[in-house]
Amino acid sequence: MTRIPAIALRGMTILPGMIAHFDISRDKSIKAVEAAMNDNQHIFLVTQRDAEVDNPKIADLFEVGIVAEIKQVIKLQNNIVRVLAEGQSRGKLTAFGECDEFLLAEIEELEDVVENLPETALSAMSKSIRDNFARYAKLHGKIAPDAVKHTHSFTDLTKLINYVSNTLPVGYADKQHILEANSLGERYEVLLALMFREMDVMAIQKDFQDKVKQRVDKNQKDYILREQMNVIREELGEVNTQSDADGYLEALEKLEASEEVKERIKKEILRFKNIHSNSSESNVSRGYIETLLEMPWDKMSEDNNDLDHAQEVLDADHYGLEKVKERMLEFLAVRNLTSKGESPIICLVGPPGTGKTSIARSVARALNKEYVRICLGGVRDEAEIRGHRRTYVGAMPGRIVNGLRSAGVKNPLMLLDEIDKVSSDYKGDTSAALLEVLDSEQNSKFRDHYVEIPVDLSEVLFIATANEMQNIPKPLLDRMEIIEVSSYMENEKFHIAKEHLIPKQLEKNGIQPEQLTISDKALIKMIRSYTKEAGVRGLERKLGEICRKTAREIYQNKKEKIRVTDANLAKFLGKEKYSQEEKNENDEIGVVRGLAWTSVGGTTLEIEVNIMPGKGEVKLTGKMGDVMKESAMAGISYIRSISPEYHIDKDFFSEHDIHIHIPEGAVPKDGPSAGITMATAVLSAVIKQPVKADVAMTGEITLRGRVLPIGGLKEKLLAAKNADMKTVCVPAKNEKDLHEISEEIKKGLEIVLVEKLDQVLEIALVK
């Protein structure tokens, strides 16, 4: 019994006479090498049964190992040691000695069992090994010819077996079998069996390769891997004879569709079955069949008919927008009563950022419908809607059919976004293609050029969005029910930010609610001084900016809580960008405050008029549009007609020039609502009578002094309220619009309904 330092090898076995190097990194292995080098440089190398085990016990190791002499030790980077050792004699591991620093093996040296073999037998065994090794080397192709020649230099069978065993490129488990053989004859049998087995494997592999070469054309290299798999399956008897066409027929059986549709698809599948698989027509037909099988011909989802649930979802997702919510609940109620109900085409019209797209998503969630969004902005080609004809290369279905296919049901909610931005060119009129989609009388049999089979769109709930109603083509507009989503007022923006935007941005930026507090005054200041918009997109961006700065303070400066107030808001967002429009402090001559509608909400326009000696010319500045210029001329004509009532000299207008100017001259201005404002300013300048600073007005004027109705009344009143006006002159014909405006906006404003300019002058001019 001998005690000797030991190393457990992973994935390799060293045989007698073999010189090999291996890397070690375990502390116990390194200390075992150091102990061996300090003694007689002998070490016991034994292979692990499982290479993944880090701290092997005696049961994790093979019993038989090799006593080797360490020839060289090299220290590498990362605490890795490379050892060069030569195998000398076999040994049997019986136990481990008591040593915590390294493996101290108790081994029993194994002597080869002596066999009295005749010389002829030894010679025959040597010849057999040489011949088979030569055959093996020839089949393998990567063993050097010198290695085969070198076998003839051995006269001793033991050394020959050791040399061939070490040269064979086989795994450690096979070499372990050779190492464990106790006699020369047994070792000979193991080695010979191993070579026979390896040669059989290589012969089978070569046979596979020969079969593949016979099947594969020289120009079809891409098919090599598939053909190899086919050959292997044939040898194993696992060939799948079901073709793609059979798979399509099985899918057709499970498809929910009418018999007419199934018959059309079946006809196409049978046609596909007879097409050669390598032809280009095969791929076209395959794509067409797969599209038809993926279509939800008769598959429908079940709607949620609970009105209370729908109202809860809509109220939770959006603040305000009462008309939109009411209309959607009405639609659901009608659908519940009639069991089906004709799906209306609803068009939400309003400025950007007012939540039109998110309303559609909330409606889909409330009704438990699949949601599909189709963006029509910039779509010019009619084929985008109707699809391409299959005769074209790269043909595909239109966006409507693709939307149905992705939804997986025939009754989704389909959002047609930016419908006012569709256009037309030489490829066809996109808006005309949408007519069939949105017409409830026609869309039950919508024909897509690619699909060709009529598709039922009558179950689809269409919701369209647009920024401006006048840009929607008239035939399309006629087929839709318009719901205006107007600008948010300050109070609504405050509630939206508080209830929706702040929690959303906190979650998006990884901030806990207790870590950031934004005061109400800071929020109002952000709305007034840092954003100027109809919706809340800019406000959300500003809140995101605060959250990002807060995240950095929390992460980098380890702050636990940050409070944003109106006093320190500039630290987060910089200086204020917009100043609040206020009324003039004093009553002035020729200066009147008008009201205007813009894409970002209402605003006030200060119109100034100067009278100068001249030749009766009228100058209009401030980048006014044609409509506004005509309003100014009509107003001046009316004032000239009533000049005797105000004791104006009859030659006044021929001897003086009138200059009308609207400040912010670089900003284009147009619209039919500034007539009475300009007329009042002109008369004030002519008769030198001041206009009240707290009076604002809106309305178009005629040559007879009548006041015509205007649009955007809610936004205009909101602008007047924000500018701290006390009195607003509104056309009498807009009285019906006042009933739809909330009391919150009208509170604090004296709204006067006027029919003629005389009434406006009575209210506005200082007596």
Per-residue pLDDT of 515-531, as tens digits, reads 888 888 888 888 888 88
- Is pLDDT at 192 greater than 50 in this prediction? yes
- Is pLDDT at 428 greater than 80 in this prediction? no
* Average pLDDT estimate for 80-108: 86
* Average pLDDT estimate for 194-198: 88
DSSP 217-283: -TT-GGGHHHHHHHHHHHHHT------HHHHHHHHHHH----HHHHHHHHHHHHHHHTS-TTSHHHH
Instruction: Return mean pLDDT, the chain.
Output: 83
* Average pLDDT estimate for 325-345: 74
**CB distance 94 to 107 below 8 Å:** yes
- Is pLDDT at 220 greater than 70 in this prediction? no
Q: What is the pLDDT of residue 580?
A: 64
The token pair at 746 is 């009208």
Per-residue pLDDT of 309-318, as tens digits, reads 888 888 888 8
Q: What is the pLDDT of residue 232?
A: 74
Neighbours of 766 (CB within 10 A): 13
**CB distance 247 to 267 below 8 Å:** no
- Is pLDDT at 16 greater than 50 in this prediction? yes
The β-bridge relationship of strands 413-417 and 461-466 is parallel
- CA distance linking residue 88 with residue 14, whole number of Å: 10
* Average pLDDT estimate for 684-697: 91
Q: What is the pLDDT of residue 695?
A: 92
Tell me which of 49-53, 254-258, 596-600, 649-653 is least confident.
Answer: 596-600
Neighbours of 563 (CB within 10 A): 10
- CA distance linking residue 464 with residue 478, whole number of Å: 13
- Is pLDDT at 696 greater than 70 in this prediction? yes
For residue 343, name the pLDDT band (cuts at 50, 70, 90).
Answer: low
Q: What is the pLDDT of residue 425?
A: 63
For residue 426, name the pLDDT band (cuts at 50, 70, 90).
Answer: low
Per-residue pLDDT of 351-366, as tens digits, reads 888 888 888 888 888 8
Residues 6+ apart with CB under 8 A from 255: 262, 265, 293, 297
Q: What is the pLDDT of residue 731?
A: 93
Q: What is the pLDDT of residue 239?
A: 39
Per-residue pLDDT of 630-682, as tens digits, reads 989 999 999 999 888 888 888 888 899 999 998 876 567 777 788 899 999 99
User: What's at 290, amino acid-wise?
Assistant: E
* Average pLDDT estimate for 604-630: 89
Per-residue pLDDT of 369-387, as tens digits, reads 889 998 887 777 777 888 8
**CB distance 457 to 443 below 8 Å:** yes
For residue 242, name the pLDDT band (cuts at 50, 70, 90).
Answer: very low
pTM of structure:
0.58
* Average pLDDT estimate for 113-140: 83
Q: What is the pLDDT of residue 571?
A: 86
What kind and span of H or E run contains 517? strand 516-518
* Average pLDDT estimate for 432-454: 81
Q: Is 565 helix (H, G, I), strand (E, B) or coil?
A: coil
The β-bridge relationship of strands 707-708 and 700-701 is antiparallel
The token pair at 208 is 């596979």
The token pair at 24 is 């070690």
Q: What is the pLDDT of residue 755?
A: 92
Q: What is the pLDDT of residue 238?
A: 45
- CA distance linking residue 50 with residue 31, whole number of Å: 22
- Is pLDDT at 53 greater than 90 in this prediction? no
The token pair at 260 is 């007419």
User: What's at 357, amino acid-wise?
Assistant: T
Percent of the chain with pLDDT over 70: 93
Residues labelled as active-site residues: 673, 716
- Is pLDDT at 181 greater than 90 in this prediction? no
Residues 6+ apart with CB under 8 A from 714: 486, 487, 602, 737, 740, 741, 745
For residue 728, name the pLDDT band (cuts at 50, 70, 90).
Answer: very high
CA–CA distances in Å: residue 284 to residues 296, 358, 394: 21, 38, 9
